């Protein structure tokens, strides 16, 4: 029928360019949880974010939320390198492992893809926020500038949780 087609990833990459802060949450697992946590923080901070997640968040009434034009928070899936079609200026990398072996040849291929995702954020004038406790993340980002590492074990991480305690099923830390 000669109807133009565009992939979901290309379409999202195009749409997000209208937002000032584009935050892509990536990782082999934990993306939906971390995206929901970030969405909760941004909504409670009255930033009116637009959110595209892979899971339903009760506070949003679904898996997505249309908000203002300042923040576009999205889950960045690595499968088939679709996250390389996105345009984050903040790339969050939670973990890197060998998965989706129907596409990724080996762990080195996965690491190259995550490094490319990080470089997209950097080329957009942004930064990378990455798990400094994950050896594969550290290897994938070795030599990459403007990375803010978070963690518990890695003493060189910029942001660390220390003195972790559990009180009535909730965790507290400094």
In this prediction, residue 18 carries a pLDDT of 93
- State which H helix or E strand residue 54 sits in: strand 50-57
pLDDT tens for 75-134 read 999 999 999 999 999 999 999 999 998 999 999 999 999 999 999 999 999 999 999 999
The 10 Å Cβ neighbour count of residue 121 is: 25
Report residue 166 CA to chain centroid gap.
Answer: 27
What whole-number distance in Å separates Cα of residue 166 and Cα of residue 136? 29
What whole-number distance in Å separates Cα of residue 74 and Cα of residue 31? 9
pTM (2 d.p.): 0.93
In this prediction, residue 163 carries a pLDDT of 96
pLDDT tens for 146-170 read 999 999 999 999 999 999 999 999 9
What whole-number distance in Å separates Cα of residue 91 and Cα of residue 165? 29
With contact defined as beta carbons under 8 Å apart, do 90 and 24 qualify? Answer: yes
The 10 Å Cβ neighbour count of residue 65 is: 19
In the three-class reduction of DSSP (H, G, I as helix; E, B as strand; rest coil), residue 4 is classed as: coil
With contact defined as beta carbons under 8 Å apart, do 118 and 124 qualify? Answer: no
pLDDT tens for 5-45 read 998 889 999 999 999 999 999 999 999 999 999 999 999 99
User: Mean pLDDT across the stretch 65-80?
Assistant: 96
Per-residue pLDDT band for 171 (boundaries 50, 70, 90) equals very high
In this prediction, residue 17 carries a pLDDT of 93
């Amino acid at each position: 029928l000669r109807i133009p087609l565009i992939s979901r990833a290309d379409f999202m990459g195009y749409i997000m360019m209208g937002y000032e802060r584009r935050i892509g949450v990536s990782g082999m697992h934990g993306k939906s949880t971390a995206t929901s946590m970030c969405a909760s923080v941004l909504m409670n901070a009255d930033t009116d974010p637009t959110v595209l997640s892979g899971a339903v968040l009760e506070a949003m009434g679904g898996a997505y939320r249309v908000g203002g034009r300042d923040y576009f928070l999205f889950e960045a899936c690595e499968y088939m390198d679709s996250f390389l079609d996105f345009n984050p200026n903040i790339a969050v990398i939670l973990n890197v492992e060998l998965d989706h072996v129907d596409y990724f040849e080996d762990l080195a291929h996965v690491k190259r893809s995550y490094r490319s995702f990080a470089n997209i954020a950097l080329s957009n004038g942004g930064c990378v926020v990455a798990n400094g406790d994950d050896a594969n993340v550290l290897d994938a980002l070795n030599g990459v500038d403007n990375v803010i590492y978070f963690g518990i074990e890695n003493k060189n991480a910029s942001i660390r949780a220390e003195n972790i305690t559990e009180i009535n099923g909730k965790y507290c830390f400094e």
